[in-house]
């Protein structure tokens, strides 16, 4: 099973700042099969990025994904109020498909 470890657990930033979220995979994962979602309280998750770096439909270019092997990153530029949520990475390359434990992005 591929374990995804996200860091930090909580990230406190102000609107306008840049957020950098990390997802570490163990063991190694193909870049084809890493996705990112965010989830606001009381809502379903929403797809942001798939295949490590491809933005989903309707996702602004402030969101970007990168990485390979065991280390993957989601970067959010120019944070807006609606970006504050919990972010999950997800690997769909090897069953069981797994999620990280989440990073909570909160307003400082």
Partner 1 sequence: QITLKESGPTLVKPTQTLTLTCSFSGFSLTTSGVGVAWIRQPPGKALEWLATIYWDDQRRYNPSLESRLTSTKDTSKHHVVLRMTSMDPVDTGTYYCAHTSGIRGSYRQYMDVWGQGTTVIVSS
- Residues at the interface with partner 1 (CB under 8 A): 32-33, 35, 37, 43-47, 50-51, 56-57, 88, 90, 92-93, 95-102
CB 34 within 8 A of CB 52: yes
Contacts of 46 (CB under 8 A, 6+ apart): 37, 38, 39
Nearer to partner 1 by Cβ, of 36 and 84: the residue is 36
Q: What are the Cα distances from residue 28, in Å, to 17, 23, 62, 72, 82?
A: 31, 12, 27, 11, 32
In the complex, what is the shortest distance from the CB of residue 34 to partner 1, in angstroms, rounded to a whole number? Answer: 9
In the complex, what is the shortest distance from the CB of residue 100 to partner 1, in angstroms, rounded to a whole number? Answer: 7
In the complex, what is the shortest distance from the CB of residue 46 to partner 1, in angstroms, rounded to a whole number? Answer: 7
């Amino acid at each position: 099973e591929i374990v995804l470890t996200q860091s930090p657990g909580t990230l406190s930033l102000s609107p306008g700042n840049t957020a950098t979220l990390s997802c570490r995979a163990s063991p190694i994962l193909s870049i084809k099969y890493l996705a990112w979602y965010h989830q606001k309280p009381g809502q379903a998750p929403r797809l942001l990025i798939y295949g490590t770096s491809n933005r989903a439909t309707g996702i602004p270019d402030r969101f970007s994904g990168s990485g390979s092997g065991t280390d993957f990153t989601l970067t959010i530029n120019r944070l807006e109020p609606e970006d504050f949520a919990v972010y999950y990475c997800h690997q769909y390359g090897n069953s069981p498909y797994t999620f990280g434990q989440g990073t909570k992005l909160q307003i400082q």
